[in-house]
Structure formats: structure tokens, C-alpha cells
Structure 1
Amino acid sequence: MRKLLVFVLLSAIISCLSAQNIYHADRSATDVSISANLIYNQAAYSLWVANEAPDHGARLLAENPWSNEKEVVLFDLSGNSASEVVQQVGDLGSVICTDPDYLLVSLNANNVVTLRNEVKAPMVRLKCGVSAGLRDELPPVDTNQLVYEIVAKVDTQNIIATIARLQAFTTRKATTDSAVAAAEWIRQQFENMGYTVELQEFTMGNTASSPNVLATKTGTTYPEKVVIIGGHYDSYTWSDEAPGADDNASGTAGVIEAARILADYPTECTIIFCAFSGEEYGLYGSAAFASRCKQQNMNILGYFNLDMIGYRNPGDAIHTDMIFPPSAKPLADYYQGIAAIFVPGLVVSEGFMISGDSDHTSFNNNGYMGIFPFEDDQNHSPYIHTVDDVLGLSVNSAEMAGMLTQASLAGVGSLGGVFSYVGLEENNGGLISSIIPNPARAQVRIIVQGFQTGQVVDLLSADGRRVLSMALPPDGLIAIDRLPAGVFIVKVSDGIRSAISKLIIN
């Protein structure tokens, strides 16, 4: 994995303290200033935060709407009357502006949860975010043979069983005890796989929420580099029952299935599996986690979001509509390249949010790259946020859920550097005494028990490809300066015995 840092955007990070004006621009506008932060993107329009208009056609919507620690929310007016929404908002907030497509409201942070419950229209909580700074360059798309192996292990029966169990909680609204119970069940699944698990507490204004569930797999070679896969487990309706099978037990099931498979494989980079809460009230859980990552200067290579992966519009081919901001295009391109190799039956198209938002936005708002491979931007499940969001009706394609899980698993496995020790501990047998130094950079000395002429040393890449083969010299010195950084398997054989050990090249 390359260590080269690239400057993704030419501008420095823009603080919310210096750029708080909201502008509306037509989606067709191309002359957009890089000093603007994209905060909401639709096929017909986009909203930006900047000091001045980011495009000659952009129009000012609001000046400093986040002042005095206010929150800003957008209500989508597709199929909703502006006057009805304004009436439902009532005294809970102040209308900033009304557009044919949306309504912007400024309100006290403690009123967001109440407003969500009162207004019967899709709501998006807008955050000004920051532009991207220095990032690690993504590796080239490659055919790691082990990725074929892990992709083949995705079991749709596991995915459906997990969806059924989460649906059985009746509701997973973030404010309920039932959601807390669901979080505990998810934690048990991760712990049973051997992961270190954290329950991250957070609040939504002054309202308590069920916690985020975070399972960590520490990388063997580059533990400071992190790849994240996640989705929200909370559900929502405007009634007491919120089964949330597609939205989003399906994505949560995909994350748990990916964790199950990767539990048996070491990875060069650290992998974090996330089940977020509070998404349905405005991405609160993922925002709490992503902002903490930024505060800790965590080096996140990319975030893969699984949200609504189980509904297939009747008659349509299995595909995904990829939703991402321009700043995350390198990761979106990487996903598309990986999917073409490891899940060739999955068509990946560019998509746009029709209404609402998802947890990838929290990572993009904090300067990382987050992508959202969605089941269908035009024809997603019509049953979400209703009591009919259940298996069979709203989750009607196990095959689709499996393929979307496979594609994100392939992306995480490739970017995270999945490899295998190939029975390292069982096959040494004392033949290899030591490998010095380890980790190494330019050359390495392999010391064996009872050197004999004719002993052969092979170096295998993490996916089993032979990258070097030669007779072991008497001094045991092997030049490795032409090999890339990574985890390798050293195999020494003398015609009768063979031994395997691990070598890390920096």
C-alpha cells in the first residue's frame, strides 16, 4: 500500500467558523468554487456552504444559519405541501427559506427529535462540514486471490436470518429501550466472532439515544490505517411499530456478515465494523463517531456505507446506484473497479439522493471519503418508514442483498489488505530459526537449522502468489528492496521438510 500523501483538494480546510452561508446551485452548474463545501446533493440541485457564491448561478439561501449553536434541517417537499410542513413545524423552529423542492428550518438543537416526530416529510440535518485535506493515495485495483475467497463465503441465509432477528425487535427507534436491546444483540454477535467491541454513547440534542456498536480488527502491518464498513441499525415510522427490514436491518446484516467472514483472516490495515444509531433523526450516531475520528487524527482510507440493500424493483436487473460527493470520487471509482472484478454481475451506476441522507455524509463532512452504494435511487423500497418494511415485501431479494454485501466486502478486503498466514504456526517445525530483521526493508537474513546446499526459499505474497524463488545462500541474506511493502510468507524447503514463516516488508 502506497504511503504517498496526495492533496485531494487545492484549498485548505475550511472551518465552519469562517464559511457559514448556504447557497443553492443548479445541478447542471459546473463552475463551482473549490472553496465551497457541498452539504447536500440532488439530481436537480445542490446546496453549498461558502463565504461567497460558489457559482455565478448560485443564489444565497441563508447567512450564518448555524450561529448561536442552532441546527439547520431540510424537509423534502416531494409529495408534501409546503404549507402543511410549515404548519407542522409550528413553534419548534423558524423557516429560513422555502423552495419548490425543499424547506429549510433553523431550530434549537434540543428540538430536532421532536420536530422529526411531528413533521411527516423526509428530513435531513445539514452540517457545514470541512473540505478534504491530506489523504493516503488509494492503491491500484488488483486481483488479490483471497478476495475471491472471502466474497464466495457471503451467505445470504445468514443475512436474511439477521434481518429477521432485527425485525423481531418490533421497533429500533433510537430513543427506545428496544433499540438498546438491539444494540446489545449486535454487540454479542461481534464479540462471539472475537472482536473488541465498544458501545459509543451519544445524545441527540438533550435526548438520549441507543449507542453505536463498534467492532475493531487491528491491522497487522499498518494498524494506523483504517478502513470502515458500517450502516445504521435504528429504524423509524410515525407509529410504535418500526420493523425496518430494508431500512436498515438489511445493511446491518451485511456489515455483520462481512465481520463474520473477515474474523478468520488477518488484514494489513485496521478494519472497523460499525452499527450506528440515530441515523433516522439526522445521522447523529455516525456524526458522533466520525467527528471523534477527526479529533483523533485517524487515518481513514475510506468508509463503505450499507443502507437499504434488499429491495429489487420488480423487473429490474440487480444493480447499485452509487451516491457520493465529488470529494469521494476516488473511493467510488475504486469500488466500481473492485466490483467489476470480484462481483461482475453487479452493475454500478452513478446515483443521487432523491430525499433523505445516510451515514456516508458524516464521514465526508469530516474530511474523509464515504460512499453509499444504494439499492436504487429512483425505485428504492416504497415501504420504508412504514409498518410494511418487512421481509418478503420490503426485503424481496436475498440475491441482491448478498451481491451488495459482496461488493463492499471486496472493497474492504482489498483496501484493508486481507491475507492469510497459510498455516504459519503449524508448519514451521523448527526449520526456520529466525528472520532478521523483521519487519525489514532492503534485505533480510533467514537463519535455518542445519543449513544444507539445495535448500530453496520462496517468498509468497499475501494472496499466495510467488514473488521470489531462489536457492538459499550460505549466509541467508536475501535482497528484498524491489518488493513492495506488505506481508509476505517465507517458505524454506530442503526436499524433505518445508517451513513457513511471516515476513513484513516496510
Structure 2
Amino acid sequence: MKKTLALAFILATPILGLAQKSKPDAALLLRDVKVLSADSMQGRLSGTEGNLMAQEYILKRFEEIGLKPFNDSYKQHFQINNRRAQVEQATNLLGYLPGKSDKVIVVTAHYDHVGQRNGKIYNGADDNASGVGALLAAAAHFAKHPPKHTIIFAALDGEELGLSGAKAFLEQPPVPLHNILLNVNMDMLGINPKGELYASGTFHYPQLKPYLLKVKPRKQARLVLGHDRPEQGRDDWTGQSDHFRFHERGIPYVYFGVEDHPHYHQPTDDYENITHAFYPDAAALVLDFLELMDNNLQRLPVQQPAKP
């Protein structure tokens, strides 16, 4: 287990700002997933024409929502050093909404996928167009309801190539690392017939558990905590998506995702297989948690993240 940031949590003090039951635009959520997982995007492999098309769509949505760019650009280019990579450069897309505080919540979802294999397109509707759709929905909500904390919305590239985009973000962060209080990562929110969305990370950061327990179930989705203990082996999701790069530096995270399903990393991960009733409610649960944290993070002491 890596070094973790020890945040004191005073159980005797009541949690402020219960989740407000905000409701993302379900039709827009589903449209974003449908566009990003279309055959024309060619599976969004980093460095490909399809990946560039996905970038252009996400950038258009950033502008529509009103996210602010860093240094007049939403793009953060970086080098990929991975033997599986077919290209040397990839691109993170970063926008933010300023808060009353310079302390930061970073919301992440990777937009790349695995591309084409043996003549078949791996569209990655759940992995991870669904996470990007939820990220855009959260950004739209906070654009209309300005946050207390600054929130960075990072659509990351290169997750399928060694979590490269998250690594690059933290090596060249747009804000000082010590200002980042929390990472909320979304990776696969769209397919679960049981209505279960997992929130992983409280084993490492138990001070966040009371907040997650305050998130009330939606009609079609409920939170389940877990998949974060070392003894679980492959069922420990600590290192399985971009949140791990934040964890390496001792920055607390919560990772939202569904358990693996038959479409995971298969050419059948298509828009048609998204659980249309579940997905908008799953995105709403993440938004409820973000609202809770925006209302409460100022009550946690600020400490310098551990070095990797």
C-alpha cells in the first residue's frame, strides 16, 4: 500500500450539505455516449484519427458548457512511453470552473479506448464513453450552480496505455499539487442490470466513507462500497484506472465504476448495450457525491500530498 494522505475526520461534527438529488439531463448523457462510441470514432485509440474526432467533440462540449481553459487552451499534450503505444504523443483535455477557494477537486474520466483489432471496432461505450458523459453532465451542473471549490474536469487520454494521461497530468499539473484535495474518477458507469454502482477507495481513505454513505439511492441505481482491499487480488481496483496515479501521490480518491461484464474490452461494448435506465441514475449518484464533497471539503485539513 502506497503512502496515503492522512486527513483527520471528526465524527462528532455533523456532515453539512446532504446530496441535493440533482438530475442530469438523461437524453444529453445518452447522446454523448452514442456519439463518442460511434463506429466513426474507430475505437478512440490514442493517436488515431478517431481519437482526434473524440477530442473535437469533447472540446465542443467544454465550450458549450462554459468551462474555462488553462493558458488559453483545453489541450495538454504529453509523450507516451509504452511499448503497446502506436504513437508517441497523446492529449488530455482540461477545463475548470473557479470556486471561492483555490483548493481543487479533480474530476477525471478517460476518453481513449483500444481502437480496432482483427478488423473489428471496439467502440468502448461503457469503457469509457459513459464516464466522459457523466463528467460532462457534472460540469454542466456546476456551471449553473457555481462550486465552492475550484473543480477541474479532465478528460484523460492514454488510460489504456499505462494510465499515461493521469501520470502526465500530475507531472505537469495546471495547479499546485498541494491544492488538490480529491480525485473523483469515473470509468464504466453504464452497464449493470443489478443497479449497482461501486465506489472504491474507502479502504485507503476511510475519512471519505461517511460522505459516500450519505448518498441516497436513486430509482435505478445505488452505491456499493468496495473493490479496494489488497487481499482481493484482481478484484482490488486500486490500480486499475486513472485514480491510481493520484493515489501514488497520496491524493485521496473515489473511483466510481461497475463490475466487469461480458462486453468489457469486447467489440460488443456498444451504445445499444448501455443500461439506459441505470446509467443516468448512476451519473446522478456521482453528482450527489460531488455536491457533498464541495460542501464539506473545506472542513478537512489541507496537507501536502506525499511524493511518489
TM-score (norm 2): 0.80
Q: Percent identity?
A: 25
| CA distance, structure 1, for counterparts of residue 37 and residue 218 of structure 2 | 30
Q: How many residues end up aligned between the 2 structures?
A: 277
Uncovered stretches (5+) of structure 2, i.e. residues with no partner: 229-233, 300-308
What is residue 165 of structure 2 aligned with on the other side? 285
How far residue 290 of structure 1 moved from its aligned partner, in angstroms, is: 2.6
Higher relative contact order (CA 8 A, sep 6+): 2
What is residue 329 of structure 1 aligned with on the other side? 206
Q: Deviations over 1:145-173 (max 9, x none)?
A: xx52xx43312211110001101212200
- Is 1:141 equivalent to 2:29 in the alignment? no
| CA distance, structure 2, for counterparts of residue 234 and residue 141 of structure 1 | 36
Distance 1:293 1:155, change over 3 A: same
How far residue 308 of structure 1 moved from its aligned partner, in angstroms, is: 0.6
| CA distance, structure 2, for counterparts of residue 416 and residue 358 of structure 1 | 23
| CA distance, structure 2, for counterparts of residue 295 and residue 347 of structure 1 | 31
Whichever of the two has the greater Rg, that structure is 1
Q: Deviations over 1:142-200 (max 9, x none)?
A: 345xx52xx43312211110001101212200121221221122111111111113211
How far residue 334 of structure 1 moved from its aligned partner, in angstroms, is: 4.0
Distance 1:385 1:267, change over 3 A: same
Q: Within 5 A, what are the aligned runs for 1:183-222?
A: 183-197=55-69, 198-205=74-81, 207-220=87-100, 222=101
| CA distance, structure 2, for counterparts of residue 212 and residue 226 of structure 1 | 18
What is residue 348 of structure 1 aligned with on the other side? 224
What amino acid maps onto 1:339 in structure 2?
Answer: V
What amino acid maps onto 1:228 in structure 2?
Answer: V
How far residue 292 of structure 1 moved from its aligned partner, in angstroms, is: 3.2
| CA distance, structure 1, for counterparts of residue 227 and residue 6 of structure 2 | 27
Contact 1:214 1:273 in 2 (8 A): yes
Q: Deviations over 1:330-354 (max 9, x none)?
A: 22x0442231378896142322553
What is residue 310 of structure 1 aligned with on the other side? 190
What amino acid maps onto 2:163 in structure 1?
Answer: L
What amino acid maps onto 1:323 in structure 2?
Answer: S
| CA distance, structure 2, for counterparts of residue 225 and residue 336 of structure 1 | 20
- Three-state SS of the structure 1 residue aligned to 2:251 is coil
**Structure 1 residue runs of 4+, over 6 Å off?**
341-344
Q: Within 5 A, what are the aligned runs for 1:98-497?
A: 131-133=3-5, 135=7, 140-144=14-18, 147-148=19-20, 151-168=21-38, 169-197=41-69, 198-205=74-81, 207-220=87-100, 222=101, 224-237=102-115, 239=117, 241-293=121-173, 296-313=176-193, 316=194, 318-324=195-201, 326-331=203-208, 333-340=209-216, 346-352=222-228, 353-354=234-235, 357-376=240-259, 380-393=260-273, 395=274, 397-417=275-295
What amino acid maps onto 1:160 in structure 2?
Answer: L
Q: Report which of the two has the higher share of helix.
A: 2
Contact 1:219 1:270 in 2 (8 A): yes
How far residue 205 of structure 1 moved from its aligned partner, in angstroms, is: 1.3
| CA distance, structure 2, for counterparts of residue 346 and residue 297 of structure 1 | 32
Distance 1:135 1:200, change over 3 A: farther
How far residue 209 of structure 1 moved from its aligned partner, in angstroms, is: 3.5
What amino acid maps onto 2:113 in structure 1?
Answer: S
Distance 1:208 1:214, change over 3 A: same
Uncovered stretches (5+) of structure 1, i.e. residues with no partner: 1-36, 39-130, 419-483, 486-506
> Bigger CA drift: 196-205 or 134-143?
134-143
Distance 1:292 1:367, change over 3 A: farther
- Three-state SS of the structure 1 residue aligned to 2:134 is helix
| CA distance, structure 2, for counterparts of residue 334 and residue 255 of structure 1 | 23
Contact 1:176 1:210 in 2 (8 A): no
| CA distance, structure 2, for counterparts of residue 289 and residue 252 of structure 1 | 17
Contact 1:340 1:346 in 2 (8 A): yes
Distance 1:312 1:326, change over 3 A: closer
Contact 2:67 2:95 in 1 (8 A): yes
